[in-house]
């Protein structure tokens, strides 16, 4: 509601590229942004999901099938966005996976995937868009870290490590480009989404049995935070937003 009334002016016609837009937090935010008059470029790997979203969202949206762990795909994403809409105002590096496990389970291939998607994906996004934004003299880069990027606990070491890395990368970026480019890092707590669908660890699955009833936010809560950051006046740079559902202690 807040944003329907007050954010429209600063969102309308902005060209916003979202990675991880095929489900969860990214998809919910894309839908809200379209309603506020943005032009939205959806990126993820599942083409069927993206196609259905563009059909639903209309002419102000396109999708670009993108694997953020592939540098060429991310470069292509930014090129396609500029080609369709003329420029890019905002890139939100949101794609991420969370196949968590304990170290003694040795699920090294899953560690590699988290590093490639959660860290390198963010770096490739920054690399693809930053020279363009600096030349244009404006722009906004966001990334999704996690409360796991502020605190860790047993069983989330590698995921948490990737999200600490996102925090370090984004804070350094902010310091380097603070004269010209807005930089925002979002730190969500537990949120409804498909995250964790790829967990294979027996230890974590046993643990999740106990966590089933943990409090979770709707994706909309994160969408509102992202819209708050994007809709600020030109001289306001919202750097960090941390959100947890009431009842989440960690």
Residues making contact with ligand NAP (CB under 6 A): 19-26, 44-46, 49, 66-69, 94-98, 117, 144, 146, 188, 190-191, 193-195
159 counts as catalytic: yes
Query: Which lies closer to ligand NAP via its Cβ, residue 54 or residue 195?
Result: 195
Query: Which lies closer to ligand NAP via its Cβ, residue 74 or residue 181?
Result: 74
Choice among 124, 159, 187, 208 that is catalytic: 159
Query: Which lies closer to ligand NAP via its Cβ, residue 235 or residue 249?
Result: 249
Burial class (CB in 10 A: 0-12, 13-18, 19+), 37: middle
**In the complex, least distance from residue 104 CB atom to ligand NAP, rounded to whole angstroms:** 23
**In the complex, least distance from residue 149 CB atom to ligand NAP, rounded to whole angstroms:** 8
Q: How far is CA 231 from the centre of its chain?
A: 17
- Give the span between the Cα atoms of 128 and 151, in whole angstroms: 29
Task: Note whether 42 and 52 are within 8 A (CB).
Answer: no
> Three-class SS of residue 71?
helix
Query: Which lies closer to ligand NAP via its Cβ, residue 162 or residue 231?
Result: 162
**In the complex, least distance from residue 190 CB atom to ligand NAP, rounded to whole angstroms:** 5
Report H helices in the chain: 2-6, 8-11, 24-35, 47-57, 71-85, 108-114, 121-136, 157-177, 202-211, 219-230
**In the complex, least distance from residue 161 CB atom to ligand NAP, rounded to whole angstroms:** 12
**Residues marked as catalytic:** 159
């Amino acid at each position: 509601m807040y944003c329907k009334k007050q954010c429209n002016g600063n969102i309308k016609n902005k060209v916003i590229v979202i990675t991880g837009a095929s489900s969860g937090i990214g998809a919910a935010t894309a839908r809200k942004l379209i309603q506020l008059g943005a032009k939205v470029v959806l990126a993820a790997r599942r083409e069927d999901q993206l196609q259905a979203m563009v059909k639903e969202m209309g002419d102000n949206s396109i999708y670009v099938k993108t694997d953020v762990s592939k540098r060429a795909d991310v470069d292509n994403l930014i090129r396609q966005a500029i080609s369709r809409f003329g420029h890019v105002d905002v890139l939100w590096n949101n794609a991420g996976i969370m196949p968590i496990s304990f170290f003694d389970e040795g699920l090294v291939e899953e560690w590699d995937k988290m590093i490639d998607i959660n860290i390198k994906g963010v770096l490739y996004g920054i690399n693809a868009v930053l020279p363009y934004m600096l030349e244009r003299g404006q722009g906004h880069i966001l990334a999704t870290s996690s409360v796991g990027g502020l605190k860790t606990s047993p069983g989330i070491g590698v995921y948490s490590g990737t999200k600490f890395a996102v925090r370090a990368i984004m804070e350094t970026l902010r310091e380097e480009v603070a004269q010209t480019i807005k930089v925002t890092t979002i730190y969500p707590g537990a949120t409804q989404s498909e995250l964790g669908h790829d967990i294979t660890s027996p230890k974590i699955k046993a643990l999740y049995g106990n966590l089933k009833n943990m409090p979770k936010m709707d994706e909309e809560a994160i969408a509102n935070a992202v819209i708050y950051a994007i809709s600020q006046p030109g001289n306001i740079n919202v750097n960090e937003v941390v959100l947890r559902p009431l009842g989440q202690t960690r």
